[in-house]
Amino acid sequence: MIDALLRVHDVDKRSLDAVAFGRGPGSFTGVRIAASIAQGISLGLSIPVVPISSLAALAQTAMTTRPDVQRVLATIRARPDEIYYASYVRDGALSVSSGEERIATASDHALPSGIDSTWWVVGDGVLHYADALVERRCTIDATLLPTACGVLQLALRAYEGGDVVGAADALPVYLQGTRPWRKLAE
């Protein structure tokens, strides 16, 4: 698929300067596959990797979709009873983190402090905060997902700033919740 995409856009893979990927948090399998593909491309072409937070890519997608939005709370469903979230503010055309990436459980329905009607809350984790979001009159969009364009926009800034890693350090990011991942035998 990657070769086909490069052909369609008449890009020679040897002209690539770096490869970016959504490093998570997100689907356990999805972030592992993304990291593996990025590592393979990096090794094969001897180029660096630009890991981009999936939450940051979601916030960037939101800010690109609505240029008037200044603050975004990005949410991604982790498990039926947990979500990943982080807050972002606009810096020119790009989203910038304004807090740590976190995980919340279904029993914790409190919005992060400072979230009010001036924030746009996006991603499939918004239902976790449904009552609080209605109460604070936040704008929500549970259908918005991180996009490759969001990853690319953030990756260009990171690459230009030298924020790259080698293939061996292009690893998924997992946030530990109340039930850490375990092997079936444990």
> Residue 78 sits in a domain of what CATH number?
3.30.420.40
CA distances from 185 to 42, 90, 122 (A): 34, 45, 37
Contacts of 29 (CB under 8 A, 6+ apart): none
pLDDT value of position 106: 66
pLDDT value of position 186: 56
Q: What is the pLDDT of residues 5-28, one digit of tens each?
A: 999 999 999 999 999 999 999 988
Assess if residue 109 is contained within a domain: yes
Q: Name which of 86, 176, 169 is nearest 123 in CA terms.
A: 86
pLDDT lower than 70: segments of the chain: 106, 109, 177-186
pLDDT value of position 176: 73
Q: How many domains does the chain have?
A: 1
Domain of residue 104 covers 54-141
Assess if residue 42 is contained within a domain: no
Instruction: Residue 25: count other Cβ atoms within 10 Å of its Cβ.
Output: 24
Assess if residue 155 is contained within a domain: no
Assess if residue 46 is contained within a domain: no
Assess if residue 147 is contained within a domain: no
Helix, strand or coil, per DSSP, at residue 41: helix
Assess if residue 63 is contained within a domain: yes
Assess if residue 112 is contained within a domain: yes
Assess if residue 174 is contained within a domain: no
